[in-house]
Chain A
Amino acid sequence: MHQLVRASAGSGKTWQLSGYFLKQLLRGARPESILATTFTRKAAGEILGRVLIWLARAARDPEFCQEIGQAIEPLSIDCPRAQELLQQVTGQLHRLRVSTLDSFFQQIARSCTLELGLPPGWMIVDEHTDRMLRRQAVDIVLAEQETAHSRRLMQMLARGNHQRSVRTLIDDAISNAWDVFQQTTRDAWTRVDAGRRLTSAEREAAVAVLKEFPHQLPGKRMPEAITGDIDRFESEQWEEFVKKGLASALLKGKTTYHRQDIPEEIQEAYRPLLRHARAEILQQVAGRNEATYELISRFDEACRQLRQETGFTRFGDITRLLAQSEAAVDGRRIDFRLDSSLRYLLLDEFQDTSLQQWQVIRRLVRSLAEDGNDGSTGVFCVGDTKQAIYGWRGGVAEIMDRLESAVPGIDVQQRHVSYRSSPAVIEAVNHICSNLGQHPNLKDYEAACQQWSQTFPPHTTARTTLPGYAEVRTLPVPDAEDAADRKSQSDFIPEAADCVSRLHQQTPAAQIGVLVRSNDEVARLVHQLTERGVPASEEGGTPPVDSPAVLAVLSFLHVVGHPGCRVSRFHVAQSPLAEHTGLTCWEDDALAARVSASFRRRLTDDGYGATLQDIALAVSPVCSERDRLRLQQVVAEARRFDLMPALNPADFLEVLESARFSRTTGAPVRVMTIHQSKGLEFEIVVAPIVSRNLFRVPSLATGGPDPAEPPESVCTWISSDLKPVLPESVQHAFDQTLSSCTREALSLLYVTLTRAIHALHVLLPPGVKRTSRSAAGLVAAAVSDSRTEDLPPDEVIWSCGDPNWFTGMSFADRLSAEHRPVVIPTVRTAPMTEGRRRGLARRSPSTHAPPAPSAEQRPSRHDPAADAVDARVRGSIIHAWFEDISWLPDDVPDPARLPDVLTRPDLRNVRLTDAQMKHLADEFLAMLEQDAVRQTLSRPAAVERLAHSQIGRNLSEQCLQVAAERPFAFRQDGQIVQGIIDRLVTAHSDGTVVAAEIIDYKTDRAHGNLQDWVADRVSLYRGQLNDYRTAVVNSLNLSPEAVRCSLLLLDAGVLADVS
């Protein structure tokens, strides 16, 4: 059964979705065949958590099985079945598909990377890198265009202006139009056809005709208006021309002007002028549209190139590629690649789905719908167009309506019973929402408002006995004295804070949600509340620049990147950072340069996280609590930045300035934006509706016959006065855009009102007018008497319920886990007597020798000596050959077998030409001819050398044993020393070892004075040989004197004693 549930706020969307999920499990669906998507990862976690909790509780409690009966009806569940399902689901936890759409799309894209044309190993870009790449893309766009063309483009974008900042202009255009660009074709941007303009002769003639009329007309108003029109036309003020006078009236299709009929001949005379003015205006508009399209399309292409080069991809790119790729999102392919057959699709918060997301999931929906309605597949969609508040992020509420056509026979349900709010709150919601159309001055917003309020379904509540109260009141007029401290004349944050403070005093344990429009308002409200002693939690995110300590750190980072910045130097030098960074004098250029260099070194070597943590620790004692929290967030961000750090520390400063960190504390008063409150509920909601505008004027108008399809018309925004000059389809796009903006603003209001459980306090600015086209004006008009224009300050305008609803009530401690303070205990450990036992450091005897060979030691490709072999390779091969010799002359190797050395595992990757091998073999054979080598490897000589040691005086050749490549390991000074001795000769007497000789082969090239060189080698390798000696002394229980160590310097033919 496919279902579409239109669920009003508080009616249990997640509950229903979880219930549907459980029902499919009960019907035998495999957990991985169910895809449940929602808008945030947190919400996804909640859905999965709820399903698991239900199963877990049902598994152990028969009564709970009854309790959840409603959610799964007509099915039922008992403990054994719940236990079975619980084990099934927890066993498949890794395969469950409860996620955001973005996560799901990423998963598809990972499996279909190649089909989507993404570079292998692509990754989602972080904000900082994204900014850098966008900047790079803009550079590419600017570089590839002719300057004059670019300038014309800029002029068009700037609406005829010649603005100084090209970057700002382009950045704004990209921010405003890139998303729309991605949904549209070029045709959508070229709907405005300017039409023909009059020639100058035609213009003069047309004006001349019109000039005749003022003298012929009675009265003053119309002649004056015509004269004004002519002036504006002649001075080429086209926009003014169509906005004023008779021209304006005629353009709007009126035939009267101030209730006076406009004679037909005058109307006729105006027509060519209007056509011309329209063409002039439209030419500008068309130019802007095309310029925007051209700029964005070039930018988009540059971004695509960069994505291919770098592998950095945005979430939106993935959605777009999937939307464009029929092949990748083929149901069967997805099933195969994702390793599960998707049979059920559960879509939460569907009203916030974007067009491109819809283009992808529509295919899945259709394929599931086509598979029939027999229960083997299912589409369950839940949402509420009244809560569509993410239009600015691409959400299109109308998509919800399209689901009905995409899934024929889908069961549509309406749920308007709240399981959250008290009757008083619901009454307020109903009253305000159904009266929003009462506003007397809605103008452009009228249609949308009327429709919204007329289609608003009255809500009821299941919590009929819940005590509660709702009021709409105006705030008092601010004191004139502190008016100067306010941010603007419409800043009523202090009065709102007073109100919240009073409510908190009344009900200190109740959770109060204070919901505002912007993060800025959140920060200021929290400040005001803190000043009033009200503990408030600032939720959502704001940049950490509200901490003076962080500001100083930012200045410091700027100094490190730009030591010439005296502003930042002054700031640091005058702050507590001076002491800890060494920047104690801002006027000292050399000092600034030194500090900059030293910290650039630290940031590069130790990382941003470690360096900033040191600074944060150092200044912690002089920080406020907020400083410390913010510094902690900065350090955490620095650690993330370390994954892809920049060489100029000022780049990190940019990251911090745009980062958003919350200051959530778990206090009972929680201040947040309305968007952040989505999905939450509070015992009391305070909604200061003090913003001036209903919504921000959009920069583009988009529209088409079906809002759930990509727009067919796109036009840069123009004032509503000019709208009549536009082609009808484009005017329609403006109307659609205004409507959706209006609906979104009303949805925001609705979301605000419906978060409350017990009490709702809507605060309006003092003196708000019922005619004001603002959110406050809309509410004022909805709740107040139609005869009053200005609402009196500091008065309850409307209320219902019991103002003392809280009497006798107690509130649960809601301090959640995430807000409980973390306490770090001291850890004591036992003393490490006799040093470390586990995880000992390692040392190789060769570390006494010089570091790994550098490039200079490797023969260059240009090396004229074609037979030259890398020094290390040469050494390894010669060592290997010597390893096979126990004694000379007994073990002289067969020259023909020498090349076999390359079959040894450790030499498997060595590649030598025949000439090189011959070269090496000849060299080796020549070494064997050297006296020193022959002597060293001969038994008699070995006996003689060992005999020099006191213990080994009476030795025979038979008592000698040779070990080649003898491994050893021993512990010394808390380290494990591990190595291999090239050649160890041991002398045995009576079954015990009495002396030993260590020979280490060295293939170093001799140069300069032989004596000096040998001395130098001995000095260089003494440490290594001493380690060997220690190993032999320890393992064979010999005295050091009984162990002889020598270097056999093969290139020079010298046996050097290392005593």
Chain B
Amino acid sequence: MTITRCFFDWNRPFLPQVADYLTNRYARGTTLDLTGVILVFPGRRAARRMLELLVERSEQNHPNLLPPQMHTFETFPELLYVQRQRLADPLTERLVWKQALTAVPSETARAALSHLPSADALSNWLRLCESLRQQHQELAAEGLDFSDVQVLLEQKKHDEEAARWQALRTIQAEYLCQMDRLNLWDRQTARLYAVDQEECETSHDILLVGTVDMSRLVERMLLQVADRVTALVFAPESLHDHFDAFGRLRSELWQDRQIAIPEDTAVIADDPDGQAAAVAEHLAAQNGTWRADDICVAVADDMLVPAVEQALSQAGLRTRWPVRFQVRNSAPWRLLEAVARHLATAQTGQPGDFESLSDLVRHPDVSEALDQALAARGFNNTTWLADLDEYLAGHLPPHPGVLPESRRQGVVRAICRTVEDLLSELVTPNEERPSGTSGRSAPQSVYAASSGRQPLADWAAGCLRLLQRVCRFPDPDCDASRYDAFSACMAAFNRACESLQDLPADMMPQCTASQALPVLLMQTADADVPAPPDDEAVELTGWLEVPLDDSPVVTVAGFNEGRIPRSVTSDLFLPNTLRAELGLNDNRRRYARDAWALESLLHSRPSVRLIAGRRDDQGDPLHPSRLWLAGSVRETADRVCRFYEDTAPDSAPPDTQRTEQRDVPESSIGCRPAATGGESAFIVPSPDARRPAPAKLAVTDFREFLACPYRYYLKKELKLTAVDHRPDEMNALTFGVIIHRVLSRFAETDLVDSDDSARIRAGLQDLLSQEATHQFGTQYSSTVAVQLEIIAERLREFARWQAEQIRDGWRIRWTEQAVETDFQDIRGRTVLLTGRIDRIDQHSEQNIWRILDYKTGDKAKSPKETHYRSGRDEWTDLQLPLYHLLARQLPLQGDIQLGYMHLPGDLSNVRETLATWDAEQIESAIQAARQTAADILDMTIETVTPPAGNRSDEFSRICQDTVVDRRIPWLDDWTGRLSKEGES
């Protein structure tokens, strides 16, 4: 029996001809009954188009259309035989491979695969087994097994590789044994069996529609039903020798075939934006002759899709790329991924960490669930995220199991409980929960349960429960795209669940949640989320769909080597030459397929444009398609020079010169900007001159203002505060506050007058522990623990210094002393000056008072360094002189010294450094303070100054410190505060 071949003229599109062929062959009166027909296509898009064409014809002449079965080679062979055994799904196959790998001697496994994953790394096992599964499938599809590879390698004297394949063959044998034991088959084995037993049969006519490539196993199946098979070949009959009896390409005859590509058909663009623009140029050149659905834009490189979409959008066209994205980008999948990451951080018996929880609660569906749950618990449901951020930054808790007390502890606890409640869906079906509870109550129980082992299928069911609870099913009418994403994700998880439900009990992995979730995520990630239909859109498609497409206008972007044709230059198991010798899909077959595709395309459409890029989106060089260089030698030489030598992109062919230019400023976004000038409206915001002047000034305000009046305005007047992203250790403020608190409380203890440094040290350590517990709870993160140790070290050195002070006759008289006084600015206006002095010591014998400010920065700078810039003869800080002024409110009789008590990183510098200013200098400072006070009251701003040392701070973005030509238009005319109250 032989298969009938039927050649179709490639000067016209293929599928309409096939539709006519079917009509001629099967129409009876008004009925076009194709129920006895199976059409086999190389891809699904062609099948969809075929149905449209059949419906079109039925509307014209044959209203009673009974459509045929339409398949690809993926599903078609199963129509030809009856399965004697159940088929294993891919996950089961992987698990059987895993079983096989662990069943063979370990040296065999190592000889085959060198390294095996650790026992607990389920995902890695499955990844490894997937590669074995694919290799097995691919060989089996050609009627081969691992031993065939081994034999070939032995023949070729590749002893080392042959040994590897011998080991693989042993593993494969074990795999097949295991499958037998389970009464399972994989698909290729089932097909092979059917072929060997000559069981293939059909009552249908089988039409192979442009299937120029097929495996040998399918070939053998078709041979058994050959009398029912017709191969419809899209090529002129004159090329009959270029196809075999099944309509497959004889790849060897296509390798050296010259392909006639008209010179103006191929254009060269520079980068992805240039390619996208060339697509628009080609379509513009059609001058409105064609409808949007007459146009097909084939994008051979997915990375080009955004650029093409953007360019066509600017050109005024809507586009539709059939895959909106993969399930891995859908909100439900990302929810489970965030859950997986959170659970992966859960140590034994402890909840997951706050960093991952903090990500999880930002998932929009979890956020919405929290909004509701927190409102139900009486919390403000609008500010919980800000509250959480503030709590985390201040207390740095390692996980929700330990929540230090604070104003926001309640809401944070409620957040954690709600998350735990949601997560409980993973581990407990609703019906098994105690009545009256929506979840588990004990905080650790969910985490503990998730670290227990249970069947993978149960985790999958838990994932579905979690998704159903957290991600409410979107309304398809209100939000179609969310609905599609959700449906696709749920369908993928449903499929995963189904396949697990069918898993033989002894194959079911028993695992923890953090092992299970990655497996389930991996199983589902690659499913497609289709783009919503768009009646007005131009279809974007992949290159492989082009030959059977029948749009009259075709533009191909990404006509570059590696894309058209694709080639594989490295493989985990089989290099290309070996693949070719084994008859597997190889680079020659890919080339032949694309050569045929290109030729059929060029012949069958009135307008084709092939666009090659010189650089990819990373700026790396690209090369032209080999197909473009497969012309005559002269053409090849010319094209090589054109591609590599000319730096200018191809100018548009003559008819595109007439295209209109779209004069829209937004064309600059997403594509190279139009050369329009214009100043940025993003300026440094103007201060509000109407704000009332402050009635009181803190001593520390002066330094802030002197450093940068504008930043002072933002920080002190507007009281703008920043939130750290991912705080993971004490910042300078918290670090300093802890030390200050310890030292302040120290002064209240009976150790205050002790000269025993050991006792002081112990006392300070106690106080530090108490402060740490107060601030961070009973368990700290590792980083905080180390920082507390660092503080302890500094305090130990402080203890030594403190004891010395006592021995030297100094006594602490005041700590954290709040003092205030009226203060007149240079213009006679009065404000309340306030300050809190860290420490005032007295030396009774010498009648000296010493005002000290604790400094906890890493480096110790003297008062002189911080207060005065001698080069410019100006005060940069006025803190200590103003303390001097404030101290006049206290009963201090005698000399007053001013200074810092440093507790820096370098412990040898833990000591006081005193200012050496005389009265005149202090008075000069106070005068400077009066001027500064006036400037503050007047909101005098002359410049916006970045922090010293070109560092950045929380205001750097507002102040545009990194913008060389930042705009501060208000500064030139700035006259200060409008209501200069208190002006005398």
Contacts and interface: CB of A to CB of B under 8 A. Distances in A.
A967 B614 CA distance: 50
Interface string B944-984: 00000010001101101011111100000000000000000
A672 to B, nearest CB: 14
A919 interface: no
B623 A855 contact: no
A632 B671 CA distance: 7
Contacts of B130: 120
Given A570-B714, A830-B288, A911-B502, A632 B905 contact: no
A524 interface: yes
B665 A94 contact: no
B587 interface: yes
B367 A620 contact: no
Contacts of B385: 562-564, 593, 596
B448 interface: no
Contacts of A650: 725-726
A968 B490 CA distance: 28
29 contacts: A41-B620, A45-B620, A56-B644, A59-B634, A59-B636, A86-B636, A86-B640, A158-B905, A160-B907, A164-B905, A308-B118, A336-B161, A336-B575, A337-B575, A558-B723, A558-B725, A562-B386, A567-B714, A600-B364, A604-B363, A613-B669, A625-B673, A626-B680, A653-B725, A817-B649, A825-B284, A825-B656, A832-B292, A969-B51
B667 A824 contact: yes
Most buried by A among B52, B667, B678, B964: B964
Most buried by B among A108, A620, A974: A620
B728 A567 contact: no
Contacts of A115: 114-115
B329 interface: yes
B253 interface: no
A163 interface: yes
A827 B312 contact: yes
Contacts of B785: 147, 150
A1053 B673 CA distance: 69
Given A824-B277, A852-B490, A1037-B63, A858 B497 contact: yes
A788 to B, nearest CB: 28
A574 interface: yes
A631 B669 CA distance: 7
B442 interface: no
Contact of A903 (B83, B158, B615): B83
A1008 interface: no
B6 interface: no
Contacts of B634: 59-60
A142 B782 contact: yes
Nearest to B675: A821
B676 interface: yes
A974 B535 contact: yes
Contacts of B382: 589-590, 593-594
Nearest to A632: B669
A549 B682 contact: yes
B573 to A, nearest CB: 9
Most buried by A among B87, B256, B680: B680
A908 B315 CA distance: 50
A1034 B962 contact: no
B633 A851 contact: no
A854 interface: yes
Most buried by B among A589, A609, A856: A856
Given A166-B783, A820-B649, A616 B389 contact: no
Contacts of A555: 957-958
A822 B274 contact: yes
Interface stretch (B120-128, B244-252, B740-748, B873-881): B120-128
Given A160-B906, A858-B497, 20 more contacts: A41-B621, A142-B782, A166-B790, A527-B964, A564-B723, A600-B363, A605-B482, A617-B669, A617-B670, A628-B668, A635-B670, A647-B360, A816-B647, A823-B277, A825-B281, A825-B662, A832-B291, A862-B429, A911-B502, A1035-B66
B674 A821 contact: yes
Contact of A967 (B35, B464, B963): B35
B249 to A, nearest CB: 17
Given A53-B641, A842-B48, A911-B502, A607 B722 contact: no
Interface in B478-500: 481-482, 485, 487, 490-491, 494, 497-498
Interface string A620-651: 11111111110110011001001001111011
A567 B958 contact: yes
Contacts of B286: 827, 829
- The 9 A-B pairs of least Cβ separation, nearest first, read A45-B621, A564-B386, A841-B533, A622-B681, A825-B659, A828-B288, A574-B685, A548-B682, A142-B782
Contacts of A852: 487, 490-491, 494
A94 B283 contact: no
B79 interface: yes
Contact of B293 (A524, A620, A837): A837
A818 interface: yes
Contacts of B317: 827, 829
Interface string A825-852: 1111111100111111110000000011
Interface stretch (B139-147, B171-179, B455-463): B455-463
Interface string B266-291: 00001101100100110110111111
Contacts of A48: 621, 623
B86 A908 contact: yes
B665 A621 contact: yes
B87 A909 contact: yes
B383 A87 contact: no
A1032 to B, nearest CB: 10
Interface residues of A, number: 188
A46 B807 CA distance: 77
A822 B782 contact: no
A220 interface: no
Given A45-B621, A161-B905, A597-B367, A817 B614 contact: yes
Most buried by B among A160, A625, A816: A625
A836 B963 contact: no
Given A564-B387, A632-B670, A829 B291 contact: yes
B917 interface: no
Given A142-B786, A969-B55, A90 B662 contact: no
A373 interface: no
B575 A832 contact: no
A555 B954 CA distance: 10
A778 to B, nearest CB: 26
A113 B958 contact: no
A111 interface: yes
A937 interface: no
B720 interface: yes
Interface string A274-315: 000000000000000000000000000000000011010000
A309 B678 contact: no
Contacts of B255: 91
Given A309-B121, A616-B669, A623-B678, A648 B359 contact: yes
B16 to A, nearest CB: 11
B21 interface: no
B714 to A, nearest CB: 7
Interface stretch (B224-232, B729-737, B822-830): B729-737
A755 to B, nearest CB: 19
A562 B569 contact: no
A855 B685 contact: no
B907 to A, nearest CB: 6
Contact of B725 (A561, A620, A818, A1034): A561
Nearest to A50: B644
A94 B501 contact: no
A729 to B, nearest CB: 30
B775 interface: no
Interface in A112-128: 113-117, 119-121
Contacts of B645: 53
